[in-house]
Structure 1
């Protein structure tokens, strides 16, 4: 007779998820999709790509998702057209940044015009920079000054520092083009050339000899990229075109008034130094839209329908030509699309005759409206 055996079942362990982990899991499942432009938000994390959470305080409506990055026409459509067939978001006094520490040891007493570093501006789609260059401390500095003289209390930083930021961006983004527009007070012989050389930017230089005369089209962007001539520089000093090979701005570009005069609704008159806006012998059109005294608080309202209206006004004033550059202060501040939407409108008009560049791309879902 066989021996009986007894078996003891192994205990079954039931592991319960800690309540906190379970809660986090459920919250992840229930998290709403990223908000669209105009939706309410608490933080930028609530908003979609290319947006940030911002409170346009004068509207007293709380924080909403607004645009924070430009649409790249070269990537969305193509880069096979002439340089003057695209529009480029431009920052006025790109170097005059809120909170920039003093580099002279003297507290700064002057206006600021932007809130991001030049690197961040470029990464967010800004493609043209307005810089004020001065002789200062036996070097070239960026200053927000008056009377053509830089002071300890108006100086922001050596131009070399900003130029190195631009060089780093061009090096990291081999398909992009950057334009620098200089309000130039440098009189030291080859002063600017020396700084451009020290920064490493000369290897990207687009030569004056390739710039069009008499209103002709510029070279194709694709050719500029292929030749690595991806930096355009314009100066306000005419003699430097022959002495340093830096293009004199007014030989190639027309521009409307800056400051309050450039924001006068229904009017778009040319800046005094510029040829008339409808002078078709200049292939590039620059539209300024910023007040004489920069005010962060009201910038978000300025970058709304009023900006779009001025884009259309300047189109007529420029002989039915859309602007290639739109220059603004505090470029990210708006109540929705802001300066980014204005640039999208311009690229839409330039590339396919639509109100939005996204309508130029098949399958975007954006309907073309003329």
Structure 2
């Protein structure tokens, strides 16, 4: 029989990616390596900040300055989150993984060992694909063109721009992998509800809701920073991109426009996938009450019907929502709001640019 991978084995690709970037969570002896990496990054980040403050003949250079400053702030924010991760977040994630494995033991007793084994290998492959697409594709391959065309300071650009992107995307992938794993457990619980198994499963559902909320609390600050930064980057960079084509700007500024399009594209993909993962997790968690309410019970079995209604009402009170520090919920409505606001800003600014 296929052996089920442990949470540590499933999440090994992101752990290995962190080690490549010089981050060793929970290893105090290797903390010096992390400090060394971050010190080198800080040095080149300051050098890049000085480069950005230089004047340029490009019409929207001021807009690009603002975006770059925001990205520098985001990079510093990433360092702060990494320090907090060493101190607090890593222990919370280890505890989270232990609680998920405790739930898995109960699901194995209910006959889902083979299902969990297949799911564990599927999740492992999904995480590897995410790393290839995000870190290798969006953050390395797409960055090769602007780096190749830089006259000097290529290494400094890679350290100050690509390195923080790799860190941020790998940290976000840590959330993705746990969200995928928890979502799969909710699917199993919903199958049990559909098959009429309820008494023990309700406790497992409550435990998974608590685990999901703890996962949300661990990454809430990062979500807030990521969404705010992504909105600024998408709005400003797409403004530059549309300005280039609408007003027929000189082709010698094409590299600036390409970088803007690349940044807005990668930010859009990242925020869309984050919304997808949060929405799917919440959908599976909240689907259980709809399954209970849709259960058909004989009209004469009043006690059983009342019991199911009470269980459904309790689940309605514990509805799962993933939020960014409680300021807004991360779902499809957030996407519509962000992209609607970005489009409105771009149209208004293009009108001002034309009048001026």
TM range (shorter): under 0.3
| Structure number having the greater strand percentage | 1
| Structure number having the greater helix percentage | 2
TM-score by length of 2: 0.23
Higher relative contact order, structure no. (Cα contacts within 8 Å, ≥ 6 residues apart): 2
